[in-house]
Structure 1
Amino acid sequence: MGVVGFAGIRISAAALITSTLLLSGCMGLVGNDSEGFDLNVEPDSGHGMIYSSFQDGMQTSITYPVITFDFSGSTDYGRATSFGVDPGDGRDPITIDSSDGTEIPIEFQKHGLYSAIAFGVDESGFRVNLAIEVMIEQRIDWYENNTGTPEDFVFDSTPGNDGPIPSHFLLNSTVENPSVIEIDGREVDVRWDIVNHEGVCQSAAENVGNGDETLWKTIHFGPLAVHEVKLTIEEGQDRINVHHALEIRYAG
């Protein structure tokens, strides 16, 4: 092992390397005998779902998922002055003083694959980072009752960050032709078109008997940007009930 000497003092190279590592608080390698801590963060879930509902074209409800990041498992976390989470969606980091607690709840309002950065800062100003993957998906329920001219169902598959686009979306579309009169009720012919920026990407058609309902199930991989589900009554004068159930997915 080589040595270095200056002013009559000889210090081994190994000792210099060890000192450098122990002072590197930002690398998460600070020992318990230093002023740092080892960061350990546990989210209560790595997955969340946004739920929204529409009735006759008007949004009636929306629920956003909340992921809570728990810092209490960090070694010597009492030496930290603050904890924080950068959600990865363009917002500023959310921080708390360590004296105020060890949990940070984050509400996600857009679907996407997020690389959230959890971090702690100790009393010397050293910051330790930890990347945590969070998957946020979305379900939309669209209802129309007793309609003769179904509205276009418009949704956006653009993620809430610069991350990957969704793996796919699933559409379960139910059309009911309710029986208004018991005898000589009318059939109705309907047509679905899914439209994106390139035009019609999927279509289907079905005849729905009086008092019957039909279900169109489809999947679309790698969706980009805004899509519209257009439902048209092509034949028949009956009014129909509609339920589009759409899920934007990032995993199989």
Structure 2
Amino acid sequence: MIPPADSLLKYDNPVLVSRGSGAKSPKGRSFKVSPQQSPETTPVPPPPKPKPGPSELQNEEIINSILPPREWTEGTQLWVQKVSSAPCTRTDVVQLSEQLDIKLQQKQARLTGICRVRRELYSQCFDELIRQVTINCAERGLLLFRVREEIQMTLAAYQTIYESSMAFGMRKALQSEHGKADMEKKIAELENEKRDLIKQLNEQKAECDAIEKREAEKRQVEEKKHSEEIQFLKRANQQLKVTSTKKYLPAFNL
């Protein structure tokens, strides 16, 4: 037989059952105790207990509804292990605390932060406390069960929010990567356009400098030519003045 995983929650000895029309399990499925159980099969069913009273039966039903039995199969055999309904003492609580510390060390649970191992062990410990409280007071156990369900619902909500936020972050990251590629492509195009414009600007500047130089040389030639013409006209005017003076000078002497 393959035993189930060890748990801090206290269980009774496993019972070999087979499907039939017998008594129903707490989950609503029909089971019947096998009349032919092999003597070599372990563990063996516990010895018959005294018939419990009405209050004990009610507490046992409440415990089974809060903490359902665990089942596993081996070949064609179905084993069921119910949660223990035995009364608890202060010693049980002390042992539970010690077992919790031992399992935390054995499974190397993290002391802080998110740790599934630590959460699972504390969840088993809380279930055991609910079992112990339910045996003494069913109402208090049901209230603790409500508290446990609320905590689990809150944790599930936080987990859903975390997963959705991670998915949202991944989508945004992919969008940003896609947008980054587009922006890099656009930047490259703008850089090429910038280089082309700078090249055109340099060509226009070189052409402008050549035109200015050519016009400056042309202006210098025109100014030199104009200056020479002015000097020529001045000399011609001066000669005309000298010639006219010499022509009329003898007449004055007579």
Q: TM-score, normalised by structure 1?
A: 0.18
The structure with the largest strand share of the pair is: 1
Normalising by structure 2, we get a TM-score of 0.18
Higher relative helix content:
2
Greater relative contact order structure (CA < 8 Å, 6+ sep):
1
Bigger radius of gyration among the two: 2
